[in-house]
Structure 1
Amino acid sequence: MATDAGGRTRRSSTGLTVGVAGLWLSIIVLLPLAAIAAQAFENGPAGFWDAITVPAALDTLGITVLVSVVVALVNVVFGVIIAWVLVRDDFPGKGFVNAIIDLPFALPTIVASLVLLSLYGPNSPVGIHLSATQPAVIIALTFVTLPFVVRQVQPVLMELDQSVEEAAAVLGASNRIIWMKIILPALLPSILTGAGLAFTRAIGEFGSVVLIGGNIPGKTQVASQYIQQQIEIDEPVDAAAVSVALLLIAFVALFVLRVISRVQTRREGSE
């Protein structure tokens, strides 16, 4: 009886926990998403489609996706390199470098935009003028999204068994073969997760590009700035429609990367 009672208590406790988690998730995530979706479709599916297919909306969505893909790819390359250096190499100031990786998480993004404008704006102290260009937008977004890849890859690298790499080297495998056949497959799920997080953060970013980007329609205006513009001209339905389009893009990107990561994980497990 005691065991049964204990089992019932544990099940009740689990049910309560799930209920609280579901309620909190609904309040914080699901209800706001439902509200923005309802507003986006206020004029029906045809109105939603018209709002996201006008030339200005298509331009801003295209620019946003393009620069976000570039940012994700750049962060994959340099994020993996930084994670590798932090895990496998020892050098003076390593602890400091490891600490500042998380700085973009703590720094207000508008401050990042101001710093980048001071560095690459019209009065650039280094003679590099990128203000109001797409490279400036890419740099700003790369700055705020770099930690996602580094912090996803770093713990996986720390857990890798280096004896396998050493054994492969003893057997004559080159560094390239060791990287491609042993290290990369193990890191791929975390790399994809980091890339997905970097991409989805980039497509919704506002503060870091608001000053350095210039907000030029058809050139540097990203979706978040377009949404703000629609609200300022009293077009909340159009703003909501573009917001939902961003949500759909982010969901599809994360879903595809999650599936690829799961397939890769299963393949590694079967081997």
Structure 2
Amino acid sequence: MTDQLAPAALGPSVGAARLPAARWREPSILPGFGLSLGLVLTYLGLMVVLPLAALALRPWELGLSGVWQALSEPRVAAALRLSFSLSALAALLNAPLGLLIAWTLVRYSFPGRRLLDALVDLPFALPTAVAGIALTAIYAPNGPIGALAAKVGIKTAYSPVGIFIALVFIGLPFVVRAVQPVMQDLDREVEEAAQTLGATDFQRIRHVVLPAVAPALISGVTLAFARAVGEYGSVVFIAGNMPLKTEIAPLLIVIKLEQYDYAAAAAIGLAMVAISFGALIVINTVQLFLAGRGRR
């Protein structure tokens, strides 16, 4: 009884000062917060923070002028430009393709729909080297599709076109799987109401469907872009790996490592991280803008 009255007897200021500390010591409804937080911080520290810190510190062994010289080499600049430009183009192409495939799988019933749905995940299941060999066999000049393209003067394999095809192949499932669940949960009564009010099919898709799936679509495109930028196995076989022409940045990093030029390899990797981080900021800004418009 005396212990319960002690805070009040000591005065309101002392009791109020002790109250937050007492609440902090109260057991949580969900126990294990300290252990869970410790495991999360340990994992992030070992698997994310330390590698990124090492990547950020290693290039400066060359000094500022050495880092700039390593990144301004024509071969490095061409590889970075090729990787990021083709990755962006592939992600942009995957946006309408993924949206169309997700729409078809969700809105229509037809024979083989489950098989088609399973085939969407094929790039996830295939080892990247196997995917690269398969794409090269198809799009090589003596392959079934590559031979047809060669007749009209289009070189697919061993050219930027082949790299673009490989990046579209590995990035498409990200867009489909990001959009598909949102489209499944989309209330069709809203579309029916818009159609009842006289909206055309185009207006219904533009004003009802697209605003609902836009955040998921942007997330899928972002994942496809991120995967394409760092893709190596499925691209290296079909690219041809010609310096200044079809050499991607991940391959150039591997070449630098094989030459024991670790600082230059880290400099290229740091440049890729910086460019990817900038692209991520832009994409998140677009998502916030679209979310703000959706609340109005």
> What letter matches 2:232 in structure 1?
F
In the alignment, structure 1 residue 54 sits paired with structure 2 residue 68: no
Instruction: Tell me what 1:202 maps to.
Output: 228
Instruction: Tell me what 2:108 maps to.
Output: 89
In the alignment, structure 1 residue 145 sits paired with structure 2 residue 179: no
Mark the structure with the bigger radius of gyration.
2
Whole-angstrom CA distance in 2 between matches of 1:12 and 1:45:
49
Instruction: Tell me what 1:121 maps to.
Output: 140
Give deviations 1:239-265, integer Å, cap 9, x for gaps: 111111111122221222122212322
Runs of 4+ in 1 over 6 A off after TM superposition: 3-6
Aligned positions, number: 269
Specify which of 217, 234, 238 is matched with residue 264 of structure 2. Answer: 238
In the alignment, structure 1 residue 174 sits paired with structure 2 residue 200: yes
Gapped runs of 5+ residues in structure 1? none
**CA shift for structure 1 position 99:** 1.1
> What letter matches 2:112 in structure 1?
G
Whole-angstrom CA distance in 2 between matches of 1:86 and 1:150:
10
Specify which of 110, 121, 128 is matched with residue 129 of structure 2. Answer: 110
Whole-angstrom CA distance in 1 between matches of 2:72 and 2:165:
28
Give deviations 1:150-179, integer Å, cap 9, x for gaps: 011111111111111111111111111111
**CA shift for structure 1 position 134:** 0.7
Tell me the percent identity: 40
Specify which of 192, 211, 234 is matched with residue 185 of structure 1. Answer: 211
63-72 or 246-255, which deviates more? 246-255
Whole-angstrom CA distance in 2 between matches of 1:206 and 1:23:
29
In the alignment, structure 1 residue 254 sits paired with structure 2 residue 280: yes
- Compared with structure 1, are the counterparts of its residues 172 and 16 closer, same or farther at alpha carbon in structure 2 (3 Å cutoff)? same
**CA shift for structure 1 position 131:** 1.7
- Computed over aligned residues only, the root mean square deviation of the Cα atoms, in angstroms, reads 2.0
25-34 or 7-16, which deviates more? 7-16
Whole-angstrom CA distance in 1 between matches of 2:171 and 2:276:
15
Whole-angstrom CA distance in 1 between matches of 2:164 and 2:136:
13
74-83 or 32-41, which deviates more? 32-41
**CA shift for structure 1 position 13:** 2.1
Secondary structure of 2:174 counterpart: helix
Whole-angstrom CA distance in 2 between matches of 1:6 and 1:157:
45
- Compared with structure 1, are the counterparts of its residues 45 and 10 closer, same or farther at alpha carbon in structure 2 (3 Å cutoff)? farther
**CA shift for structure 1 position 47:** 2.1
Whole-angstrom CA distance in 2 between matches of 1:163 and 1:45:
60
8 Å Cα contact 1:193-1:258 kept in structure 2? no
> What letter matches 2:85 in structure 1?
L
Q: TM-score, normalised by structure 2?
A: 0.86
**CA shift for structure 1 position 233:** 2.3
Whole-angstrom CA distance in 1 between matches of 2:112 and 2:161:
30
In the alignment, structure 1 residue 33 sits paired with structure 2 residue 59: no
- Compared with structure 1, are the counterparts of its residues 62 and 5 closer, same or farther at alpha carbon in structure 2 (3 Å cutoff)? closer
Secondary structure of 1:43 counterpart: helix
